Structure 1
């Protein structure tokens, strides 16, 4: 989606601050959610992985109990015999995917980092989805729980899982809690921002074309099938439109990013049709912490040349 053909020119993107409403009790909602998370017993378990032996790394399956009693999984890697606490990076995956293979985390371990990669509950990994809700779920998680209270929305629980993972990793004796970073692409980019918003000790966040921002804009641009199909099947005259978008406002990352204290390296492709640039700028423009936007003018929702090197240097301070 070229900014001059369907979305917005760059000069408008740089001023755009979103169209999805922010619920009046938004901060109270998330403060209570974090209290619920903190009150839960995480029951952390580290199980050595059967992944091939790596001379400089130890690999574990990490399990913890998230809100609602779901057992959550992450891959966890750490350097062998580090003489001092290590920095850490938390990695988050794209929508409906999983934490990926072990090998693509080893570059950070080789640089002396601990690495944790989350499996989002109910998606392609092994984390549980134990939520019991009213109403339909269709095929996706964005509208999962939309007919129940906002506390039952699945992405509320996934967002809390990111903060709980950060809290757990920061508690490990081998981790330097003052230097923990987040990164991810698409849904993973959104979760990198969410984690930094809900866990203020995060030092740096490197989101790539983040999803889950400005849901009303997604619908307006016909870029989000779940919301469109929800209205088609369950509210064809949009009698509940205001209510639905207000509920989605609780999990809209553009409303959460104002909490971020971390330094942010934000990357966007201006031809993105999956996460249109305006939805991403809606979040970026509300970040008040130190930030930088890398623009890939001729790229869509895809691999960006040289970007992984930029992120690696940003996180590793090299």
Structure 2
């Protein structure tokens, strides 16, 4: 069943998320601190047995120089420079195996699929630890370090993601002026963060994005992962105000207010995990050219392969 307001109302909806006056300086200082460390990109060929694609094991320096893993996939013997897609994973997943996610390289693009630190054991598989500890947290990742914007888990994740784009742009096979970012669910939220922090992207593809409109999402759905915050605050009742002072620095709504690259969102009207109003909360604030595809009869899977087909058509149109 539909889980939210009618589509006409969704298109008029505005998030109540505040926009901190020091949002930009917080992120500028975070990225400047991390950029003290050399990217130190390592690219190692992987013997996959594929004849039409080449796969490379990539490692680069993310937040505060901590090492992050990714797979780079390109057409066999490609010399570039190629239009490139940097992709971020959904909640709990990692970069998975070298033979996963072959679509974009098969279509002729360079494809960097980035690990999410500390994740990769719910599905797929990951190889990037999260060395930073945090205080008491509800099981999962949503409340790790949530007592402070400096220690919150997604500060590290979003910084890793920005550095992933920088790492991609440093590669000879990549055309630094033709880089797009893509992700679904958590990956969609990371994609929006990158769109708000990185200049010169040619395309932004947030599919059923997570990490949006926290004032609504933390009270509107009983589904995880948003529910992790509610469960945490049910125990730590005294921290509700403080937590909602931290979350605006990591909300897709506020990154959308700063993003100018063309964007193609998706949402689904039966999505309990990322309710459509929370997606529209970010979409309606997005500053750049934008479109949104609404899937009326789908849940958190969104458009699935239909979204792949649409994205590929958009990318091919840019490339011609």
TM-score (norm 2): 0.91
- The answer as to whether partners of 2:195 and 2:260 remain within 8 angstroms in 1 is yes
Structure 1's consecutive aligned runs of 4 or more residues displaced over 4 angstroms after TM superposition are none
Residue among 101, 113, 116 paired with 1:105:
101
Which deviates the most, 246-255 or 14-23? 14-23
Shift of 1:303: 4.6
Residue among 37, 48, 52 paired with 1:51:
48
1:293 aligns with 2:295: no
- The answer as to whether partners of 1:219 and 1:228 remain within 8 angstroms in 2 is yes
Shift of 1:105: 3.4
Shift of 1:12: 2.0
* Structure 1, gaps ≥5 residues long: none
Shift of 1:84: 4.0
After superposition, the C-alpha distances for 1:106-143 in whole angstroms (9 at most, x for unaligned) are 3322332111001100101111101133x212212221
Which deviates the most, 279-288 or 98-107? 98-107
- How far apart, in 1, do the equivalents of 2:41 and 2:217 lie? 37
Q: What does 1:1-318 align with in structure 2 at a 5 Å threshold?
A: 2=2, 7-52=4-49, 54-82=50-78, 84-124=80-120, 125-133=126-134, 135-147=135-147, 149-223=148-222, 224-235=226-237, 239-304=238-303, 306-317=306-317
- The answer as to whether partners of 1:105 and 1:115 remain within 8 angstroms in 2 is no
TM-score (norm 1): 0.91
- The answer as to whether partners of 2:48 and 2:99 remain within 8 angstroms in 1 is no
Shift of 1:217: 0.7
State the secondary structure of the residue aligned to 1:150.
coil
- How far apart, in 2, do the equivalents of 1:102 and 1:208 lie? 23
- How far apart, in 2, do the equivalents of 1:83 and 1:95 lie? 33
- The answer as to whether partners of 2:295 and 2:302 remain within 8 angstroms in 1 is no
- How far apart, in 1, do the equivalents of 2:168 and 2:27 lie? 21
Shift of 1:9: 2.0
State the secondary structure of the residue aligned to 1:127.
coil
- How far apart, in 2, do the equivalents of 1:107 and 1:96 lie? 22
- The answer as to whether partners of 2:212 and 2:278 remain within 8 angstroms in 1 is yes
- The answer as to whether partners of 1:269 and 1:296 remain within 8 angstroms in 2 is yes
- The answer as to whether partners of 2:253 and 2:282 remain within 8 angstroms in 1 is yes
After superposition, the C-alpha distances for 1:276-298 in whole angstroms (9 at most, x for unaligned) are 01100010011110111111111
Note the aligned Cα RMSD (angstroms).
1.7
After superposition, the C-alpha distances for 1:17-73 in whole angstroms (9 at most, x for unaligned) are 213333231111111112122222222211222322x22322111111222342210
- How far apart, in 1, do the equivalents of 2:221 and 2:85 lie? 34
Q: 1:186 to 1:77 in 2, by over 3 A?
A: same
- The answer as to whether partners of 2:268 and 2:302 remain within 8 angstroms in 1 is no
When the two structures are aligned, how many residues end up with a matched partner? Answer: 309
- How far apart, in 1, do the equivalents of 2:47 and 2:195 lie? 31
- How far apart, in 1, do the equivalents of 2:100 and 2:72 lie? 12
Shift of 1:90: 0.9
